[in-house]
Amino acid sequence: MTQMQDEGLVPTRTIDLQAGRRAFLRSAGLMAAGAATIGLTGLPEQAEAQELDDATILNFALNLEYLEAEFYLIAAFGRRLLDGDTTGNGRLGGVLGGRKVPFKSALVRSYAEEIARDEQAHVRFLRKALGDAKVARPGINLATSFTAAARAAGLVGAKETFDAFANENNFLLAAFIFEDVGVTAYKGAARFIQNKDFLEAAAGLLAVEAYHAGEIRTLLASRGLFAQANAISDARDSLDGTTDLDMGIGSEKSVNIVPTDANGLAFSRTPQQVLNIVYLGSGASEASFFPRKLNGNIA
């Protein structure tokens, strides 16, 4: 029995990454991503007709921070955000699924706890910055969403389930679904922020998310989870239209911890591309991380 099997990770098998480039949309009954719905500004159609003010952008970020904070707080400490950190405009939703991960490595547990505290701080910072304009936490699905994503990436079979909280390896793979998305979302939104103070704050948030992503990518590589992580990257990329932006973590011969373009820069995602990933398709569904959509103008 291998170490990964002993820890309860889904069985490792050969994954044809090139053939699976679009598997995310063909699997698990997911709808095709609507590349045509991405307008010239890269914004969802409902936002194009509205003024894209700083509050709209920060609330979009707040929705994503709610998701990350809930995932890490539950995994690291077995608790959720305090009620006082979840109220606001729009429909307040609950959190489905999740439990404390039975960490075996003190280092991985420490990483998880640090990231959880950071994400909770991000939620509180954005809520304070937005004031009365802040949105409430939307409904979040941390149960069936991971199984849908894992099936689509080919990590488990059509009738198998994926428990993101069962062990350290599953936790790291689940975290990898989010981390790069947060970095590219902040990068893509930066150009629209008008207030310089908010822009500086967004740069600080992006930097922390990039540190987190680097931690998760490094831990995955150190455990030899290249095929699994690359399959997740491949699945995310299938939602980005015809471009091939997303990058996995490489291989044992050549790791790729820092995904960059030809200029050594992090790449950007549009709000629509981010929505397609967290919805696991072109619209929210029961299998989405946000089953009832995000709160705010970009939803």
Note the Cα 251 to chain centre separation in Å: 22
Q: Give the mean pLDDT of 38-54.
A: 51
The answer on pLDDT for 21 being more than 90 is no
Q: Which amino acid is at 278?
A: V
Q: In 3-state terms, what secondary structure has residue 266?
A: coil
Residue-level length of the chain: 299
Report whether 118 contacts 208 (CB < 8 A).
Answer: yes
Confidence of residue 32 (pLDDT cuts 50, 70, 90): very low
Per-residue CA distances from 56 to 52, 53, 90, 115, 273 (Å): 6, 5, 13, 25, 17
Query: Does the pLDDT value for residue 231 go beyond 60?
Result: yes
The amino acid present at 97, given as its one-letter code, is G
The pLDDT tens digits of the residues spanning 176-200 come to: 998 999 999 999 999 999 999 999 9
What confidence score (pLDDT) does residue 43 get?
52
Range from 5-14, 138-147, 241-250, 283-292 that averages highest in pLDDT: 138-147
Residue 31 has pLDDT above 60, yes or no: no
The answer, yes or no, to whether residue 45 has pLDDT greater than 50, is no
For the cut 50, the answer to whether the pLDDT of residue 25 exceeds it is no
207 Cβ contact partners less than 8 Å away, ≥ 6 residues apart = none
Query: Could you give phi then psi for residue 276, rounded to 5 degrees?
Result: -60, -35
**Is pLDDT above 60 for 133?**
yes
Q: Which residue has the higher pLDDT, 82 or 43?
A: 82
Instruction: Please report, in angstroms and rounded to a whole number, the separation of the first and last CA atoms in the chain.
Output: 45
What's the whole-model pTM score? 0.85
Among 29-38, 50-59, 118-127, 212-221, where is mean pLDDT lowest? 29-38
